[in-house]
Amino acid sequence: MRIIVTLLFAITMFKTEAQSSVLTIADSLYLNGNYSQAITAYKSYENQDEVFDKMAKSYLAIGNYDAALHYYKLNIEVHPEDALSKYEYAKLLSKTKQFEASIEVFNDLMNIDYRNPNYHYEMGLALEKINDSSAINRFRTAYDLDGTHQKAIFKIAKHFLIKRKHETSHRYIDKGLETYENNVELISLKAQNYYYQEYYNQAKIWFQKLIDLGESSEFIHEKLSSIHAELSEYEQAISQRQLVLNYNPYDSNALFLIGTYYERLNDFTNAENYIIQALKLKDVPLDYEYQKLGVVFNRQERYQEAIEAFKKSLKENPENVSSAFFIVSTKDRYYADIDSKIKVYQDFIENYSNSPFLSFAKRRLSELKEEKFIKEKE
């Protein structure tokens, strides 16, 4: 009898050691990134409820989210107080767009530990996805619990930027930058706040910080270009807008703006080149663009080409009275015959009797008639 008991004990010890060995091997495979092999090993482990969490993590690592959710759920049913497993489960529910279920699990987690800021932050993300306005409350609670929580600070600062409450947004951003001065997300919000406040010198400094930190995007270069233009720094405006073209070489708006910046620099050759490129790409009414091209031609004293550009502008938009008047004023400079000049002003006054340019046209017509009278007397 003693022999039998000893034998049974030995068998039990062998099985226990064997199972322990299986778990050790499985854990080693997981730690070394052999997740699929680890899953196979975990499945051979006898006490499955002890490895549900590990199997969930392994499936998560290889991107099998359905299986990961399944094993997280099994683990939570067996170990309802396992907050870490619940937390990972809730985040994965949110990642797989099961937002309502995710919110429910985060509520359970808050009952376990309300003072964990990440529970509030992650729940805020899920609420945000379903357009629930209470999301901001979760982010603010996360911040109240941890004043250095960079992600929560970003969400709050962005919320106030969107609401155009710039000073409040700045206050949160500054708090975040105290503990992480190179947080590019907060620096971007800082730059945008200053931009929308029209504090262009400050905005320029903060957008430049992004570039100094290795950031580069169409948005950054577009905003910097606009800022330089507002500050009459047209060479820099051109340089930044050309970087925008690296992202979209067929951006007709960028091409057109570069043309207008060259015009401000009196570089009419480049202005003409860029504006013409923009015109070729645009498929919307082009009256303003043709009008600007006409102005560029006028500045070069290429009056015939200017007149043709203004005519195209008027054809694009017959209501564009500015282009109609520019035709008249250009012909005034272009025509040598005084009667021809008088005729274009008379026609304009007759056709555009409600024009804001009417008083100027009448005054110029009067000057031309007086000039003609003096010449005839001579």
- CB atoms under 10 Å from CB of 98, counted, come to 16
**What tens digit of pLDDT does each residue of 181-210 get?**
999 999 999 999 999 999 999 999 999 999
pLDDT at res. 286 = 85
For residue 316, being part of any structural domain is answered with yes
Do 119 and 108 form a contact (C-beta atoms < 8 A)? no
Q: Give the pLDDT of residue 112.
A: 92
Residue 7 confidence (pLDDT) above 60 = no
The answer to whether residue 167 is domain-embedded is no
**Whether the predicted model's global pTM rises above the 0.85 cut:** no
**Mind listing the pLDDT tens digit for each residue in 52-98?**
999 999 999 999 999 999 999 999 999 999 999 999 999 999 999 99
Non-local CB neighbours of 193 within 8 Å, separated by 6+ positions? 161, 166, 169, 170, 173
Rounded to 10°, the helix 287-299/252-264 angle is 30
The span from the CA of 85 to the CA of 107, in Å, is 14
Compare 283 and 15 and report the one with higher pLDDT.
283
Mean pLDDT of the region 226-249: 97
The tens digit of pLDDT for each residue in 338-369 reads: 999 999 999 999 999 899 999 999 999 999 99
The domain total for the chain is: 1
- CA distance to 107, 215, 221, per residue, from 93 (Å): 13, 32, 37
Report if residue 107 sits inside a domain: no
- Alpha carbons 102 and 89: distance in angstroms, whole number: 8
What is the rounded CA–CA span in Å between residue 76 and residue 73?
5
Which whole number is the average pLDDT over 283-296? 89
CA atoms within 13 A of residue 110's CA, in its CB half-sphere: 18
- Mean pLDDT of all residues in the chain? 93
Q: How far apart are the first and last CA of the chain?
A: 148
Q: 321 lies in a domain?
A: yes
Question: The tokens of 23 are what?
Answer: 């778990």
- pLDDT value, residue 349: 94
Using only the alpha carbons of the chain, give its radius of gyration.
36
351 in any annotated domain: yes
Residue 292 lies in a domain: yes
20 lies in some domain: no
Q: Which domain holds residue 368?
A: 287-378
d(CA 57, CA 72): 8
CATH number at residue 340: 1.25.40.10
Contacts of 82 (CB under 8 A, 6+ apart): 53, 75, 76
> Looking at residue 185, what is its pLDDT?
98
Answer yes or no: is 263 within a domain. Answer: no
The whole-number pLDDT of residue 90 equals 98
Per-residue confidence band for 377, with pLDDT thresholds at 50, 70 and 90: confident
